[in-house]
Amino acid sequence: MGSPGLAARDAAPGLAVSVRAALALGAVMAVCVAGSAAAGEAEDAATARQASDLAELSLDELAQIRVTSVSRRAEGLNTAASSIYVITPDAVRQAGAQTLPEALRLAPNLEVMRIDALDYSITARGFAGFESANKLLVLMDGRSLYTPLFSGVDWDQHHLVLDDLERIEVISGPAGTLWGANAVNGVVSVTTRSAFETRGLLAAGTVGTLDSDVRVRLGGALGEAGAGRIYATAFKRGDLELADGSDAQDGWDGWQAGFRTDWLLGDQSLTLQGDVQDATIDQSLGFDGGYVRGGNVLGRWRGPALGGEFEVQAYYDQIERQARGLHDELRVWDVEAQHAFSLGAHAIVVGAGYRITKDEFRTLAEPQLLSPPRRRVDIGNVFIQDHIALGDAVDLTVGVKLETNDYTRAEWMPSARLGWRVSDRQFLWAAVSRAIRNPSRIERDFTIAGLVEPGQMGSEKLIAYEAGYRGRLTEAATLSVTGYLHDYDELRTNELVPGRNPPIFVGNTMQGRTWGLEAWTDVEIAPWWRASLGGAVLRKDFELKPGSRDVARFEAAGADPGWWLKASSTFRLGERVDLTVGGRLYDDAPRLTASGYLGVEGYAEANVRLAWRVTDGLEFAVVGRDLLHARHAEATETRRSEIPRSVFLSLRWTH
With 0-12 CB in 10 A as exposed, 13-18 as middle and 19+ as buried, what is 57? middle
Number of domains within the chain: 1
User: What is the Cα–Cα distance from 408 to 565, expressed in whole angstroms?
Assistant: 39
User: What is the Cα–Cα distance from 87 to 627, expressed in whole angstroms?
Assistant: 23
- Residue in 489, 351, 486 with CA at minimum distance from that of residue 431: 486
Q: What is the pLDDT of residue 395?
A: 96
Please check whether residue 550 lies inside any domain of the structure: yes
Q: What is the pLDDT of residue 286?
A: 67
pLDDT at residue 283 greater than cutoff 90:
no
The C-alpha angle with vertex 507 and arms to 505 and 511, in degrees rounded to 5, equals: 150
Beta strands in 545-593 (DSSP E): 563-572, 577-586
User: What is the Cα–Cα distance from 388 to 391, expressed in whole angstroms?
Assistant: 9
Looking at residue 414, its amino acid is P
Instruction: Return left, alpha or beta for 591; rule: phi > 0 is left, psi -120 to 50 is alpha, else beta.
Output: beta
- Residue in 653, 592, 650 with CA at minimum distance from that of residue 208: 650
Q: What is the pLDDT of residues 374-398, one digit of tens each?
A: 999 999 999 999 999 999 999 999 9
- Number of C-beta neighbours around residue 242 at 10 A: 16
The span from the first CA to the last CA of the chain, in angstroms, equals 52
pLDDT at residue 30 greater than cutoff 80:
no
Please check whether residue 3 lies inside any domain of the structure: no
With 0-12 CB in 10 A as exposed, 13-18 as middle and 19+ as buried, what is 589? buried
Instruction: Return left, alpha or beta for 595; rule: phi > 0 is left, psi -120 to 50 is alpha, else beta.
Output: alpha
User: What is the Cα–Cα distance from 343 to 345, expressed in whole angstroms?
Assistant: 6
DSSP string, 367-424: SP-BSSSEEEEEEEEEEEEEEEE-SSSEEEEEEEEEEEETTTEEEEEEEEEEEEEEET
User: What is the Cα–Cα distance from 106 to 533, expressed in whole angstroms?
Assistant: 10
DSSP secondary-structure letter at 104?
Answer: H
Q: How high is the mean pLDDT of the chain?
A: 88
Q: What is the pLDDT of residues 302-331, one digit of tens each?
A: 999 988 999 999 999 999 998 877 889 999
For the chain, what percent of residues have pLDDT higher than 70?
A: 90
User: What is the Cα–Cα distance from 436 to 459, expressed in whole angstroms?
Assistant: 6
- The residue segments making up the domain with residue 221 are 17-654
Please check whether residue 8 lies inside any domain of the structure: no
Q: What is the pLDDT of residues 439-471, one digit of tens each?
A: 999 899 988 888 888 888 999 999 999 999 999
Mean pLDDT of the 612-627 span: 96
Please check whether residue 9 lies inside any domain of the structure: no
- Residue in 174, 189, 199, 158 with CA at minimum distance from that of residue 87: 189
- Residue in 435, 546, 544, 438 with CA at minimum distance from that of residue 494: 544
The answer to whether the pTM exceeds 0.85 is: yes
Dihedrals phi, psi of 370, to nearest 5 degrees:
-120, 130
For the chain, what percent of residues have pLDDT higher than 90?
A: 71
pLDDT at residue 416 greater than cutoff 70:
yes
User: What is the Cα–Cα distance from 544 to 586, expressed in whole angstroms?
Assistant: 28
User: What is the Cα–Cα distance from 19 to 11, expressed in whole angstroms?
Assistant: 18
Partner residues linked to 146 by β-bridges: none
3-state secondary structure of 2: coil
Rg, C-alpha atoms of the chain: 24
Q: What is the pLDDT of residue 4?
A: 37
User: What is the Cα–Cα distance from 456 to 527, expressed in whole angstroms?
Assistant: 60
Q: What is the pLDDT of residues 351-370, one digit of tens each?
A: 999 999 999 988 766 777 78
The better pLDDT of the pair 7, 154 is held by 154
Q: What is the pLDDT of residues 503-558, one digit of tens each?
A: 899 999 999 999 999 999 999 999 999 999 999 999 999 999 998 988 888 889 99
Q: How far is CA 94 from CA 33, 87, 89, 162, 391, in A?
A: 29, 11, 9, 12, 41
Please check whether residue 449 lies inside any domain of the structure: yes
Q: Over the range 461-498, which residues count as b (16 or more CB within 10 Å of their CB) and which as e?
A: bbebebbbebbbeeeeebbbebbbebebebbbbbbbee
User: What is the Cα–Cα distance from 17 to 25, expressed in whole angstroms?
Assistant: 12
Q: What is the pLDDT of residue 387?
A: 95
pLDDT at residue 53 greater than cutoff 80:
no
- Residues near 239 by beta carbon (within 8 Å), at least 6 away in sequence: 117, 247, 248, 249, 250, 251
User: What is the Cα–Cα distance from 612 to 620, expressed in whole angstroms?
Assistant: 5
- Residues near 31 by beta carbon (within 8 Å), at least 6 away in sequence: none
pLDDT at residue 341 greater than cutoff 70:
yes
Cα 546 from chain centre: 36
With 0-12 CB in 10 A as exposed, 13-18 as middle and 19+ as buried, what is 574? exposed
- Residues near 613 by beta carbon (within 8 Å), at least 6 away in sequence: 576, 577, 578, 619
CB 480 within 8 A of CB 428: no
3-state secondary structure of 28: helix
User: What is the Cα–Cα distance from 221 to 43, expressed in whole angstroms?
Assistant: 10
Model confidence at 281, pLDDT cuts 50, 70, 90, reads confident
User: What is the Cα–Cα distance from 212 to 181, expressed in whole angstroms?
Assistant: 36
pLDDT at residue 45 greater than cutoff 90:
no
- Residue in 283, 294, 311 with CA at minimum distance from that of residue 257: 294
**Residue 611: which CATH number?**
2.40.170.20
Please check whether residue 11 lies inside any domain of the structure: no
Please check whether residue 12 lies inside any domain of the structure: no
Q: What is the pLDDT of residues 58-93, one digit of tens each?
A: 677 777 788 888 888 888 888 999 999 999 999 999
- Residues near 391 by beta carbon (within 8 Å), at least 6 away in sequence: none
- Residue in 383, 411, 415 with CA at minimum distance from that of residue 397: 415
Please check whether residue 160 lies inside any domain of the structure: yes
